[in-house]
Amino acid sequence: KIRCRMSKEDDSSVVHGLKDIAAGSVRGITQVLVGHPLDTIKVRLQTQTGDHHFTGIRDCIQQTWKHEGPMAFYKGAQSPLYMAAVYSSVLFLTYGQTKRIFGLSDDKPLDFLTMIKVGTVTGFIAALVESPLDLVKSKMQVQYDKGQYRSSVECARSILHNYGVRGIFQSFDATILRNCLGSIVYFYAYEKIRELLGGGSKQLSVGHIMTAGGLAGAAYWTAIFPIDAVKSRMQVENSDVTKRSYTNVVQAFQKIYRTDGVKSFYRGFGVCLIRSFPTNAASFIAFEYSRKLLN
């Protein structure tokens, strides 16, 4: 049994924040280790071109394995792995503190309108951290064979050196849109499902946490996948702003729709759903157990 967080009224905001940072870090690393291989397949399906075309999930996995070997599934993992702790800690720190600012607690009924505010603030702040990391990850994941960059660090340094802050925040508007909507859906789904499964009890079983986390992950990707597809397309474009096809997220949506139709927004959706349940089930178990140990 895992005792829900925020149960001790005498804990200060600082103590709560430190616990969220520590538990969020463990959660982030767990999520990358479990989910990165299928994330690579998702990004490749979303951004495939005439030179690298796949008929589906199985074909993408087979071609990647055949031509690049098993380690290709972890391309770009260096960036999210050592920075996942930073991003996830910021995400859960912001979420925890924003909940307290808006008066949400485990002892009160979940209010959807307040969760919209909490999710929007959380998503925006998290996007400031995630956008550069996600950019590097995506550029590494679509490098076929040897590619332009030898590592995520080299990729980040090269973009910063040649294109500055504007370059490293390529597709930032799409990331904000995705993260704000995603955070609302993700955290509301998790809290609501946890509330329903727990029946008002503060003692939740491992199975309940895994179910709530897995379903929240599935709800998240279902809600934001078209935006994520556009974001991925924008991220893998040329780092030079003068050579890009898309100037902003709205124009990108319009151009992709006119060129490839609705189906292009859902390439890789199947593998994403397959990945989402175990990845988020494992990551929330890691978060809740870490939180329990800290309590």
pLDDT band at 132 (very low <50, low <70, confident <90, very high): very high
Task: Look at residue 202 in the predicted model and tell me its pLDDT.
Answer: 67
Tell me: pLDDT of 10 over 70.
Answer: no
Least confident of 44-53, 93-102, 273-282: 44-53
Task: Look at residue 9 in the predicted model and tell me its pLDDT.
Answer: 46
Give me the mean pLDDT over the 171-198 stretch: 94
pLDDT digits (tens, 9 = 90+) for 226-265: 999 999 999 989 999 999 999 999 999 999 999 989 998 9
pLDDT band at 274 (very low <50, low <70, confident <90, very high): confident
pLDDT digits (tens, 9 = 90+) for 186-240: 999 999 999 899 876 667 889 999 999 999 999 999 999 999 999 999 998 999 9
pTM of the entire predicted model:
0.83
> Is 22:292 a contact under the CB 8 Å cutoff?
no
Tell me: pLDDT of 7 over 60.
Answer: no
Tell me: pLDDT of 131 over 90.
Answer: yes
pLDDT digits (tens, 9 = 90+) for 146-170: 667 888 888 999 999 999 999 999 9
Q: Whole-number mean pLDDT of the chain?
A: 87
pLDDT digits (tens, 9 = 90+) for 12-36: 778 888 889 899 999 988 888 888 8
